[in-house]
Structure formats: structure tokens, C-alpha cells
Amino acid sequence: MDDIEAELNIAETHADFTQDESEHRQRLKRPVQLHCQVKDRGFFTGIYFLKCNRKCLELLREAMLHHRWQEAVGYFSSYIQTLEAKTYNSYQSVVAEAKEKEMIEEQAEQVQSDVQCQILWRLGTEILHHLPNTSNEDFNALYEQLKNVGVLNFSKISLEHCYHLLLNGQMDEAKRQLSIAESWRYGRVSRSQSLSKTLITAYCGLLDYLIWNEKKSSVSENEELSSNHEMHSYFRQASVTLKDIISLPGIWDPFVLSYVNMLEFYKQEESALQALENYAYNKEFPSNPNAHVYLYQFLKRHDAPREKLISTLRILHSLVPSHELMLELCNLLLDTLERSDTEEALAVCMDLLEFSSWKTDIRAWDCLLTCLKKIRKKKWQEIIQKEWKVRRSLWVPLHFRDFLSLKDWMDNHKLMMIIKKDCLRIINENMREYCRVAAIAEKEVLLQIRMKRKKKQHKIQTAITELTN
């Protein structure tokens, strides 16, 4: 609730900056259950509107903190009524103003409206979740009310409404609401929501894909999937919309995956590859590691050449050197016979182990040990020395400090006794304390194994003796 008051303070600051009480008097309807001052003419001003809402929020906050949900409904209704009155009067009045001033006020009004819509949504959903016998229709009614109040955020509210419907499995209703939002027009207000309009169009295409996918799952085995006319119509609608959307610069991960999935189903691999390469390599698009992940996965599914896979993962390494696909890059590089590829594999693997999330990962250490063994077998020891000389100052405190030996002993015997110890031996680095603890740990583990064997043998002998007696 404190966050709500902080957001309201932001709204007040923007209102004070853009509105002067003496210049902009706004007629507001009197809210229910609230009492506040009125000017001599009998109309609320913008300042009194904010005071009125602040008082309402204080009462609403108190009611919600004490779980008086029915009372909170009344205060929430009053808050909605004041905003509805402000919205109506704001857009019915026509004021001749300078163009520059009009743009500044429009931006400030947009910020204030964003804050109000966030407050309304958070309050309304919280109240509905705690009221008994609340249905999906109540949430739908709240969304419709928010659309009337927040004209400046009509498209955003429509998207939120669509998300809610999808979470509740109402796909057809979500499609209907998006179609209404896509065709909605309100003068320059609708023109200012072009980004949200683009998202609405994108989700219309995504819903067509979801319906297509649902039809695909429901078609009987005897029927030819690719010749189903109803499915194909949804495919055409979704593919046209999604193709236009993903050609625009931006992050379109779920839409790209949906588009590629449909193209792969209809055996249009070339078009799918072209879409993924444009998404990954187009310089107008923002840097997106996922684009290279999707391209690599597609190439791997379709048995692309090793060189193509390696080049794709190299770009991913330059963006996210800690990505789990770097293990696959190491393995691909090690499979080649080139010395430079083996050297690169060692560097990629050591880069990976310098991140805290991979510090004790068995797979990464095992990959490093494989690299080192191959280099030793090829007698390229200078590669190891060159790489270790650069990284020693970081790796010794990061992986081989004295206290880490005890930690590795308690957490992971295999990592300490086998992998790390062997890595040190190949690198020709003598970490005495770490190796000493590793040797003690190895003896301890061997002793435990012997004890277990003795207990097992004793049980077997006891069982045999009982049977013979």
C-alpha cells in the first residue's frame, strides 16, 4: 500500500507541473461516500480532485489492511467515479492551446494516467481475489471499467485483459477482445498508442497460431494434417501477421518460435531459416542472444554442417560466454583436428568456469579435463602454459584457495579428488594445501568404501550361516 501512495505522489507532481489551478478548472462529479471542499461556483478543481482521491485511497488502504473487503468495494467504486468524471470532462472540453504546450501536457497526462491505471488494477484485482464468490465475469467487468477510465491506456488495458483471459483458458474471448482493441480509434489518443497497437496485432497472430496448434492436435490420425482446410486458413492468417511483425526491429521471441514451428510443419525449412537468420543477424534489431540460440537449435534439428553450428555458437559466446550451450561449442571444437579449434575450446571452457554459476559444475570441469587431456596427447603443452599464464592470478583464488579444498571435500568428492586434482597435474601447478586436503579426502573415501564392503560381506556371511544352521 505504501507503493500506491508513492505512485500517487508522482501523479501529483506531474499534475502540479502541468496544471495551474486558476487557469484549468475541471468540472467533476461529486464522488459517492466522500466529503471534500468545493469552490464557490460548486465545481471541483484539479487540486481538489487529487485531494479527494488521496482521501479515498487512505480510507481504502485502511479497509484493505483490516480485511474489510466489502467496505473497500465502496471506496474503490468512489475512486472509479471520480476518474470517470475527470476523463469525460477532459475530453469533452476543447481548448485552443499552442502546439508545444499541448505536447508537454499530453506527455504529462500520459504519465499520470499510467500511474492511475496501475493503482486501479492493483487495487481492483486484490479486492476481487479476497471477495467471496468472485467469478471471471467480475474480472472482465473490472477491465471494461478500466478501459472507460483510462482512455490513454486503452490498448495496454486490452492487452492485460487478453492475458487474463488466456490464463483462464478463454481463447475465443481473448481473440474477440483483441479484435475490438485492434479496430479501436479515438482521434490522436489512439495514434499515440502505436506501440501497443503493434503488440495487439502481434498477439492476434499468436492467437491464430494457438488456435491452429489446437486444431492440429484435435485432427484425427486418419485425416491428412497438411490438407485440413480449417487448419490451413488459420495458418495463413497467423503466418501473414507474424511475418509482418517479426520483420519489425524488436524482441519477438515467442512470435518467431510460433512462426518457425508452423513453417517447419508445412516443410518450408528455407523460409524458416531465412526468418531466423534475419532475426539473429539484422543490424537494425537489438542484440538478442535468444535469436542465436533459436537459430542454432534449428540448424541442429536439420543436421546442418559442423562449421555452421560452430559459427553460430561463436557469436553466442561473444554475447553470453556463460551460456550452457558453450559446453556444446567446446565439444564441437574438440571434434575437429585443427590446433586453433582445440585452443579455442580450452579458452571457451575456462571462460565458462570463471562465472560463479559454473564454478562447481561437474560438466564444465569434465569438459576442461577433456580439453587438457587432448592437448597433452597432441603434445601441445605450450597452449596450456600460455592460457594458464594469463589466468593464473584469477584461477588460484577462485578455484584453488585453501578453504575451497575443505568446501569441495564436504560438497563434492568427485570434483576435488578426480577432476580438479588431475587438472592441476596436467597444468603442472603444485597447489600443496589443496592437493594435501584432496589426498586426505581420497583416503577417507577409500576407507569408507572398504568399511561398506566389510559390512556387506559380514551381512552375507551372517545370512549364509543362518541358512546352514
The predicted pLDDT at position 465 comes to 75
In which band, very low, low, confident or very high, does the pLDDT at 34 lie, cut at 50, 70 and 90? very low
The confidence band for 263, taking pLDDT boundaries of 50, 70 and 90, is very high
The span from the CA of 115 to the CA of 393, in Å, is: 50
pLDDT (0 to 100) of residue 45: 53
Report how far residue 182's alpha carbon sits from residue 215's, in angstroms, rounded to the nearest whole number.
24
What pLDDT is recorded for position 439?
65
Dihedrals phi, psi of 376, to nearest 5 degrees:
-65, -40
What is the grid cell recorded at 289? 542472444
- The pLDDT value given to residue 26: 37
Nearest residue to 155 via CA among 134, 135, 183, 127: 183
Mean pLDDT, rounded, for 398-425? 75
Percent with pLDDT over 90 in the chain? 33
Higher pLDDT residue, 55 or 102? 55
Q: What whole-number distance in Å separates Cα of residue 249 and Cα of residue 370?
A: 41
Provide the CA 229 distance to its chain's centre, in angstroms: 35
pTM of the model: 0.72
pLDDT for 87 beyond 80 = no
Please report which confidence band the pLDDT of residue 98 belongs to, taking 50, 70 and 90 as the band edges.
very low
CB 63 within 8 A of CB 55: no
Q: For position 38, what pLDDT does the model report?
A: 41
Check residue 17 and give its pLDDT: 39
pLDDT at 49: 61
Q: Which cell numbers in the block locate residue 73?
A: 468495494
- The predicted pLDDT at position 97 comes to 39
Q: What DSSP character marks residue 194?
A: H
Show the CA angle centred on residue 94, arms to residues 157 and 77, nearest 5°: 40
Each residue of 57-73: pLDDT tens digit?
888 888 888 988 888 88
Cα distances (Å, whole numbers) of residue 132 to 70, 71, 188, 354: 10, 14, 41, 53
Residue 256 has pLDDT above 80, yes or no: yes
Residue 336 DSSP class: S
pLDDT of residue 197: 78
Q: How far apart are CA 178 and CA 159, in angstroms?
A: 7
Mean pLDDT of 79-100: 50
Instruction: Taking residues 380-394, report their average pLDDT.
Output: 92
How is residue 13 written as a grid cell? 507532481
Q: Comparing 44 with 305, which gets the higher pLDDT?
A: 305
Q: Which SS3 state, helix, strand or coil, does residue 27 take?
A: coil
User: Chain-wide mean pLDDT for the chain?
Assistant: 77
State residue 39's pLDDT score: 42
**Predicted local confidence at residue 148, as pLDDT:** 67
Confidence at residue 310, expressed as pLDDT on a 0 to 100 scale: 96
